Chain A
């Protein structure tokens, strides 16, 4: 069965600094998608970034980038120039070829002014 592990329940970062959130997953598939979602307090979940497993190049979206290590089954999220609005719960997610999504338990990010 696919599992997604986020080993950091909480992280904090100074405003304008960089932080990296970790995620590992377990799968026997070779073709899949990985995602990072952000869930601000009392607000709905929004997509931050996605990575196709067949692509070697790491995805980037403005201040957000990933480090995708397929062999190690690792998918970390780097947030550069952290802003107060980045404070949220961050979930790593795996999409199987059968279109089922599996989420990690989340990392709560605090941004310190």
Chain B
């Protein structure tokens, strides 16, 4: 399967702990996005990379959140000092930047975070 993969699929952590999620995009896609989805809501944009450059970051993203994409391949999303309000599904998506399928995002299965 050459789709977008995310690890771990589930994460339970205690409030105040740090967590890190990983996303492996489709290999030829140079754009990568992170979203947060809570129950009954649509995905909410967090941040976006083109290759290794982080081009956009939501104002909703607090300083406790950081994302990296070293070498323009996989990406990590870290949440420091987790809070119960961080409990959500974290989705990753990738897309090519051009061609007939440009701007179409392909989503991973998500990482479900539960903060106790």
Contact = CB atoms under 8 A, between A and B. Distances in A.
B23 interface: no
Contact of A35 (B44, B104, B109, B110): B104
B40 interface: yes
Contact of A100 (B40, B45, B106): B45
A103 B40 contact: no
Contacts of A60: none
A45 B48 contact: no
A103 B44 contact: yes
A56 interface: no
Contacts of A35: 104-105
Q: How large is the interface on A (under 10, 10 to 19, 20 to 34, 35 or more residues)?
A: 20 to 34
B48 A105 contact: no
A3 B22 CA distance: 29
A50 B104 contact: yes
Interface stretch (A13-21, A63-71, A91-99): A91-99
A10 to B, nearest CB: 11
Contacts of B93: 45
Contacts of A101: 33, 35, 43, 45, 105
Give the 3 A-B residue pairs with the shortest CB-CB distance, closest first: A103-B42, A45-B107, A44-B109
